[in-house]
Structure 1
Amino acid sequence: LTDGQQIYHNLISLIDNAQHSIYISTFIFRPDEIGKEIRDRLVLKARQGLDVRVLLDGFGAIQTGRRFFVPLAEAGGKYAFFMHRLFRGRTNLRNHRKIIIVDNQTVLAGGANIGKEYLGPEPDPKRWQDLSFILKGPAVRSYLEIFHSDWAFTIGTDDVPAQAEPAGYYDSPNVAIVQVVPSGPDIPGDPLYDAILTSLYNARHNIQIITPYFIPDEPLLYALQLAVRRGVQVKIIVPAKSNHMIADIVRRIYLREMLRVGAEIFFYTPTMIHAKTILVDDTLVMIGSANMDSRSLFLNYEVMLITYSRPQITQIQTWMARIEKACIHCELKAGFMRILFEHVIRLFSPLL
C-alpha cells in the first residue's frame, strides 16, 4: 500500500468487514476528522459485539485524551495507553509499532499512524508519503503474539484477548516468504538491529534505504561506508524537510559522511516521506515501523517485516524508483561554524 488513500480504504474495508475482532496498536491516533471516523466505525463494531481493542503509546498519543475513546468504552470496546506519560521515567520507552489485526486472520501494518497526515479518502498534496502492507497466513501469528504481549504488559494478563489460530496457508498469487522481526526492551537481544547490520555487511550489489530520519549509530554508518568502498551501490532517500528540525540538523553529519565515500543521497521534495524501507541486493526488503536512528533501534518497541520473495521485492523496487524520480540529489556543503553547530546538536542524537 503505497499511499494514504490505499491505506485508508483498506483499513476501512477491514473494519467494516470484521466479524469477530479488531486489534489496533498505533503510536499516534489523532483526534482529527480521520481519527474520529475510524473511532466511530470501531464503536459501531463494538456495539455489534466484536472484541475491539485499541492500544496507544502514552507519549505518541499525548494529544488524544481518554475522553476521545469514551464512546468506544461505552460501546463495549477497550482502549489503553502503553507506558502512560504519567509514569515517570518511562516516557523514553515508546511503543512505535503500527499493527492492525482483524479476525486474527489479516494484518495491516507498516509505517502509517492514524491521522489525516497519514491517510484519507481523497488525494491530498500535503499528506505524508508512507508505506504499509496487508498480510495473511501463518505469519499473522507473530503479530498476534506481539499485540497480546503488549496488551498484557499494559493491562494485565487477566485481560489478554482469546487465542485463535490464523489461517495456515493462504492460497493467493501473492504468496511470499516473510519473517516478522520485532525489537524493543521486551525482545531478548537486538534481532532487528542484528538483521539490518548483517544484511548491510552481506550486500554485494546494491542497498537502498528510505527513512524519515537518518541518524545511524557508528556500526551502522561504518557498515554502509564499507559497502560503498567494496563497490556496492548505496542510495539513501530522506525527506527534504522532516517534521523534526533537530533530526534534520544532525542527519547532515551522517549524510555528509556517506557522500564523502561515494553514496548517493536524495531529498524527497513533494512532502514529508514517512516510509521505512531497506532493500538489499534485490534479495530482501524490510518494511515496518523502525526508523534509521538509535531511538527506533535501541529504545522503541518496533516491528519490521522482511520478505525474500521476488514479486514483492519487485513491487517495492518499482515504488522506490518512482520515489527517486520525485527527489533531488543532495549537496551538503558547510562551513566551519555550521559543522561545529551540527556536532554540538549531535550530542543529543541518541535521544532523538
Structure 2
Amino acid sequence: MVDLLWAFLQQYWPHLIALLSVVFGVVGAVHAAMHKDDVRAAIAWVGVILLSPLFGALLYAAAGINRIRHDQISGQRSRLIKDYVHHARPLFGDVGPVSAPQFAALRILCDKVSRFPLHDGNHITLLDSGDEAYPAMLAAIDGAHHCIALQSYIFDHDRIGLQFAQALRRAHERGVQVRVLIDAIGSKYSHPPIIDLLRHDGIPAELFITSLLGLRTAYANMRSHRKVLFIDGHMGFMGGMNIRESFMKSLVGPHASQDTHFRIEGPLAAQLFAAFANDWEFSTRERLRIEDWCRIVPLAPEPQVPARCVRSSPDRFIAATHNVLLGALSVAQHHVRIQSPYFLPDQTLMGALNTAARRGVTVDIVIPGHNNLRLINWAMMAQLDQVIEGGCRVWRCLAPFNHSKLLTVDDAWSYVGSSNLDPRSLRLNFELDMEIYDRAMAQQLAARIDAQIAQSERVTIEALQAQPYWARLRNRVIWLASPYL
C-alpha cells in the first residue's frame, strides 16, 4: 500500500501541487475579499494570492488573517472597576470649562471609542526621559506594599534593566504581588533576555504572544507595544518609554535618546490595570481579580484633571486611536502640534491633517532628524510632500533622537501614550494612550514640542526634490512596505 502511494505521488505530484495551489488560492482570495475592510489591503492580498497561489495563500494565512478576538474588558470587570474605585468622580458635565467648548463633541466620540469612562480626580505628572521617569518608577516599586503590574514592549538586560529587576525582586521577597509582561518580539532586543533573570528570582513573568519557536504562528504579526506600571491600586506610569539605559543621560551621555512618560495618581490607575490584566489573562489564562488589586485609596493630590485611557488593538478596539485622531483634527480651531518618531499616516489621516490646515488651523509636525530606524525614516521621507503640499509644517529636529508620541490641540486637549502614527501601530499593535482635558497639561506639552521645533529645520518641497533620484526611489520602494515595518 505504501509503495503504491509512493508511486502515485511520484507520478502525479505536479498535478497535486497544481490542485492544492488552485484550492488554497481560491479559498485565500475569497477569505481576503470577505474579511478585509480596507479595500487596498483586500486588493493587495488577493493579488499576492492569485499571482502566487500556494505561497501567497500560506503567507496570507500566517500574516494576513486577524485572529485576535479576545475582549479587552468584560462588562462584569468594567462594573468591578466602578465598584472598587470609590474615589472616582465621573465627569458627566461639559468638558468646556476645563479645556475648550469644541471638545464637547470629541468627548462624545471618545465615550464610544474608548469604553472607559472619563474620570475627574486624576493627578498627572510629566516625566522627562529616563533621568526623571526611571527613578520615579523605581521609587514607586520600592514603596509598593500590595501589588505591582509591569508591562513593556522592550525590557532590556542592561544597567537600568537590572535596577528594575532588582527592585522587583525586593518587592517579591517582601510579599508584594508582582506580575511582569514583556512582548515576545521586544524581549529579543537584548541578550540574554531579562525574563530569564526575573523567572530565576521567582517573579511571575511572561511573554506576550509566544511559542516554542518564539512566535505563535497565528499571531506572528501582532505585538504588545504598551508601557504600563501599576502600583498598589492607585498609582500608575504610562507613556512611550521602554525600559532601556539608552534613555538616560546619566548613563550614556548627552546623546541619550529622549522620551516623555507620565505618573498618574487617581482613578485612571485602575484603567491601566484593566488593560494590563486583560493582556495578562490573554497570555497566561490567569485572571487577576480587580477587587484584589484595586483597593480603596485616598484622593489624588491637586491639581486634578479629567482623563481616560484609550486602548487600540487588532480586536474590537481596532482603529480606536485612529478614530480619536480624526475626531480631534475635525474639532481643531487654532493649532495642532504633533510629535512622532515614526510618522507614516494613512491617506485618511493625511486628508484630515490637510483639511485642518486648509481650514486655517496651524499644523506643526515634528519628526526626528536622526531616526533610530533607518527603514522607517526612508519611508517617512517618501510621503512628507503630501502633508507639506496640504499646508502642514514639518520639522526635522536636530537634537538627539526623541521617541515621544505627543499631540495637543488648541492648547486645551492632549493625547499621549504608546501609539505611533504608522499603520502597524494604528491597526496591528496593542497600544495604550491617554486623552487629557486640561489646559495646563496641554500648554506644558505644547511648550515641550515648541522647544523641539526651536532645534529643528523645516522640511520643504524643494529640499525633498533636491534629493538624488536614487534616494527618492529607495524611499518610495521602502514606503511600499510601510504597513509592515
TM range (shorter): over 0.9
The question of 1:57 aligning with 2:188 is answered: no
- The answer to whether the Cα contact below 8 Å between 1:279 and 1:286 also exists between their aligned partners in 2 is yes
Judge conservation of contact 1:138–1:169 (CA < 8 Å) in 2: no
**What is the 5 A alignment of 1:38-77?**
38-64=164-190, 68-77=194-203
Please tell me the residue identity of whatever aligns with 2:354.
Answer: Q
Q: Secondary structure at the match of 1:117?
A: helix
Q: 1:86 aligns with which of 205, 211, 215?
A: 215
Counterpart in 2 of 1:321? 450
Which protein is richer in helix relative to its size? Answer: 2
Q: Are the structure 2 counterparts of residues 166 and 241 from structure 1 closer, same or farther at C-alpha, using a change threshold of 3 Å?
A: farther
Q: Aligned residues, how many?
A: 352
Structure 1 counterpart of 2:228: 99
- String of CA shifts for 1:219-257, please: whole Å, max 9, x gaps: 001111111111110000010121111111111132222
Task: Tell me by how many angstroms 1:196 deviates.
Answer: 0.7
* Unmatched runs of 5 consecutive residues or more in structure 1: none
Q: Match for residue 9 of structure 1?
A: 135
Q: Determine helix, strand or coil for the equivalent of 1:328.
A: strand
> What 5-or-longer segments of structure 2 have no aligned partner?
1-126
Residue 321 of structure 1 deviates from its aligned partner by 2.0
**Aligned-pair CA distance for 1:18:** 1.0
- Deviation at 1:136? 1.2
- Residue matched to 1:346: 479
**1:142 aligned to 2:268?**
no
CA distance in 2 between partners of 1:135 and 1:244 (Å)? 30
Q: Secondary structure at the match of 2:380?
A: helix
Given residue 83 of structure 1, which amino acid in structure 2 is its aligned partner?
I
**SS state at 1:219 partner:** helix
1:19 has 2:145 as partner: yes
Give me the identity figure in percent: 28
Counterpart Cα distance in 2 of 1:296 and 1:140: 23
Q: For 1:254-273, what aligned pairs fall within 5 Å after superposition?
A: 254-273=383-402
AA at the equivalent of 1:349: S
Is 1:190 paired with 2:347?
A: no
Q: Is the Cα contact below 8 Å between 2:277 and 2:287 reproduced in 1?
A: no
Match of 1:34 in 2: 160
Which of the residues 253, 261, 264 maps onto 2:382?
253
How far off is 1:305 after superposition? 0.6
State the secondary structure of the residue aligned to 1:109: strand
Report how far residue 104 of structure 1 moved. 1.7
CA distances 1:116-165 after superposition (whole Å, capped 9, x unpaired): 11246557312111001011111111111101000000000356676333
Counterpart position of 1:234: 363
Query: How many Å separate the matches in 1 of 2:164 and 2:249?
Result: 11
Taking the aligned partners of 1:343 and 1:69, their CA distance within structure 2 comes to 38
TM superposition shift of 1:169 = 6.8
Cα deviation 1:69-102 (Å, max 9, x = unaligned)? 3443344321000012331242310000000011
Distance 1:298 1:226 in 2: 23
User: How is 1:131-170 mapped onto 2 (pairs within 5 angstroms)?
Assistant: 131-158=260-287, 163-165=292-294, 170=299
Partner letter of residue 406 of structure 2? T
Greater Rg by CA:
2
> How many angstroms apart in 1 are the aligned matches of 2:319 and 2:363?
24
Q: 1:115 aligns with which of 236, 240, 244?
A: 244
Aligned-pair RMSD on alpha carbons? 2.1
Look up the equivalent residue of 1:340 and give its one-letter code. L
Judging changes above 3 Å, is the alpha-carbon distance between structure 1 residues 66 and 22 closer, same or farther for their aligned structure 2 residues?
farther
SS in 2 for 1:207: strand
Say which SS state the counterpart of residue 101 (structure 1) adopts.
Answer: strand
Superposed CA offset, 1:177-205 (max 9, x none): 11210100244443221111111122111
How has the CA–CA distance of structure 1 residues 162 and 67 changed in structure 2, closer, same or farther, with 3 Å as cutoff? farther
- CA offset at residue 10 of structure 1? 0.7
Q: 1:77 is aligned with what amino acid?
A: I
Distance (Å, rounded) in 1 between the aligned partners of 2:328 and 2:413: 9
Query: Corresponding residue for 2:52?
Result: none
- Which AA in structure 2 matches 1:182? R
TM-score using structure 1 length: 0.93
Aligned equivalents of 1:346, 1:202: Cα separation in 2: 30
CA positional deviation for 1:64: 4.6
Answer yes or no: is 1:333 the counterpart of 2:459.
no
Of the structure 1 ranges 177-186 and 121-130, higher mean CA displacement relative to structure 2 is found in: 121-130
- What's the secondary structure of 2:246's corresponding residue? coil
Read off the aligned partner of 1:8 and give its amino acid letter.
Y
Give the corresponding residue for 2:405. Answer: 276
SS at match of 1:238: strand
Letter of the aligned partner of 1:333 in structure 2?
L
Q: TM-score, normalised by structure 2?
A: 0.69
Q: How much has 1:336 moved relative to structure 2?
A: 4.9
Q: In terms of mean alpha carbon deviation, does 294-303 or 161-170 score higher?
A: 161-170
Task: Summarize the Cα distance change of 1:9–1:68 in structure 2 as closer, same or farther, 3 Å threshold.
Answer: closer
Cα contact 1:136–1:167 (8 A) shared by 2: no
Change (3 A) 1:168 1:39: closer
